[in-house]
Amino acid sequence: MHHNTDPALLDCIEKCWTCRDTCQSVLFNYCLEKGGKHAEADHVRLMVDCIQICQTSGDFMTRNSRMHASVCTTCAAICEACARSCDAVGDAEMRRCAEACRACAKSCWEVGRRAGLMA
């Protein structure tokens, strides 16, 4: 249960968890099974970075950390990089992952903007 009632933060928390869950499922149940470019080290590392930062960002917002906006802007940058990597690998599963990453990044950038961390 979230004690924060700000709709933008609640949306961002949801998008962080969706991105985390999607990337984790795609990575471990698709990419590693498929192999090849799907399992190249740089791509896998970036997906794991995305999974971890999305969880961290969601956690910071859920507990109303004063540092949540800083973590959100970092999350947005990593999600955008992960989306580009997924697009480069290609196919429908990777597009699904990239879409979750872009939605999370957009929401996290907005949280950062609202906190005055971005122009």
- For residue range 22-58, list pLDDT tens digits in order: 999 999 999 999 999 999 999 999 999 999 999 999 9
Q: pLDDT tens, 73-98?
A: 999 999 999 999 999 999 999 999 99
Per-residue pLDDT band at 5 (split at 50, 70, 90): confident
Torsion of CA 13, 67, 119, 111, to 10 degrees: 10
pLDDT for the residue numbered 115: 79
Q: What is the mean pLDDT of residues 58-85?
A: 96
- Residue 75: inside a domain, yes or no? yes
Does 3 have pLDDT greater than 60?
Answer: no
For residue 2, pLDDT over 80 is answered with no
Residue 119 lies in a domain: no
Structure token digits, residue 68: 């949540």
**Integer Cα distance of 111 and 76 in angstroms:** 10
- Supply the CATH number for residue 64's domain: 1.20.1270.360
Q: Please determine, for residue 1, whether its predicted confidence score (pLDDT) is greater than 80.
A: no
In a domain, 47, yes or no: yes
Q: What is the pLDDT of residue 114?
A: 85
Q: How far apart are CA 59 and CA 65, in angstroms?
A: 9
- 8 A C-beta contact, residue 57 and residue 68: yes
Q: How many domains are there within the chain? A: 1
Q: Domain range spanning residue 28?
A: 7-113
Q: Which helix (H) or strand (E) holds 67?
A: none
In a domain, 34, yes or no: yes
Q: Considering the domain boundaries, does residue 118 fall inside one?
A: no
Token readout for 19 is 């991105």
